[in-house]
């Protein structure tokens, strides 16, 4: 598992230094929170009602932005071939890459959520539920997106296809995430959201490994 840990550290450091996943996701997330109130208008009650769904939509789109490059560098420099030659299971290595994606996109959004909630007029009492829903649900966004990125790896102009594959698969996470954020810290939707993340944790690395094996072979 040392290889998986080294891969995780490498991807996190590259993302932070280059700013591809880390800076892009946070910047987009903040931009969504700043622009959406302008579109909704002066109705603060309506804005508060829409805030959980809008924040979750922003989180999903922010996670989607950096998925296109998740395996691109490894394909170009031959590192992907080395993954299959490693003694570490390929599923563990892919899980490490997805974990690095979540650490640089999903995790920062959890801590940025109160600021965005303030901009969207969400009451402070709902902030813990919002942060809990993002902490539980954003791993599913990275896992599902990672599997979709593996399916489109190496394709020309695969970004559009990646979006078409990923966004419909995000729907259950968005529904349960927004409902959990609006329903409070003890909302049953939070358990359903955790179930989605656990299923994705089991299925997504296996699906990504199968897709990449087909591409390499």
| pLDDT tens digits, one per residue of 52-72 | 888 898 889 888 888 877 887
pLDDT at 138: 94
* Neighbouring residues of 38: CB distance < 8 A, sequence distance ≥ 6: none
Largest CA distance in the chain: 59
- State the average pLDDT over residues 20-37: 73
156 vs 4, which has greater pLDDT?
Answer: 4
Per-residue pLDDT band for 202 (boundaries 50, 70, 90) equals very high
Q: In whole angstroms, what is the distance from residue 32 CA to residue 39 CA?
A: 11
The whole-chain average pLDDT of the chain stands at: 85
Number of domains in the chain: 1
- Note the pLDDT of residue 130: 92
Domain that holds residue 67: 2-216
Please tell me which residue, 41 or 160, carries the higher pLDDT value.
160
Mean per-residue pLDDT, 74-88? 79
Helix orientation angle between 106-119 and 22-40, rounded to the nearest 10 degrees:
20
pLDDT at 158 over 70: no
**12, 100 Cβ separation under 8 angstroms:** yes
Among 166, 106, 113, smallest CA distance to 137 is for: 106
Which residue stretches of 105-187 are H helix? 106-119, 127-151, 158-169, 171-183
How buried is 77 (Cβ within 10 angstroms: 0-12 exposed, 13-18 middle, 19+ buried)?
exposed
CB 107 within 8 A of CB 23: no
Tell me the whole-structure pTM to 2 decimals: 0.89
Q: Which residue has the higher pLDDT, 33 or 116?
A: 116
Measured distance CA(134)–CA(110) in Å, rounded: 6
Tell me, what's the pLDDT at 206? 93
User: Region 167-183: what's the mean pLDDT?
Assistant: 91
The pLDDT of residue 19 is above 70: no
Q: What per-residue confidence (pLDDT) applies to 20?
A: 55
Confidence tier at 157 by pLDDT (50, 70, 90): low
Highest mean pLDDT: which of 30-34, 135-139, 148-152? 135-139
pLDDT band with cut points at 50, 70 and 90 for residue 29: confident
Is the confidence at residue 112, as pLDDT, over 80? yes
- Binned at pLDDT 50, 70 and 90, residue 122 comes out as confident
């Amino acid at each position: 598992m040392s290889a998986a840990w080294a891969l995780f550290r490498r991807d996190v450091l590259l993302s932070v230094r280059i700013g591809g996943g880390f800076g892009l996701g946070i910047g987009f997330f903040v931009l969504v929170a700043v622009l959406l109130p302008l579109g909704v208008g002066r109705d603060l009650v309506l804005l508060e009602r829409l805030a959980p769904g809008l924040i979750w939509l922003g989180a999903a789109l922010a996670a989607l932005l950096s998925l296109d490059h998740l395996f691109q560098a490894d394909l170009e420099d031959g590192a992907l071939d080395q993954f299959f030659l490693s003694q570490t299971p390929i599923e563990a290595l892919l899980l490490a890459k997805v974990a690095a994606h979540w650490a640089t996109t999903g995790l920062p959004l959890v801590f940025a959520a109160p600021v965005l909630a303030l901009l969207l007029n969400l009451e402070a009492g709902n902030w813990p539920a919002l942060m809990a829903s993002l902490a539980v649900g954003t791993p599913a966004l990275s896992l599902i997106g990672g599997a979709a990125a593996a399916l489109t790896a190496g394709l020309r102009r695969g970004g559009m296809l990646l979006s078409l594959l990923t966004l419909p698969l995000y729907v259950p996470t968005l529904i349960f995430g927004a409902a959990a954020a609006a329903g409070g810290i003890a909302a049953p939707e939070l358990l359903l959201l955790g179930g989605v993340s656990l299923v994705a944790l089991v299925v997504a690395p296996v699906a990504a490994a199968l897709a990449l094996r087909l591409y390499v072979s």
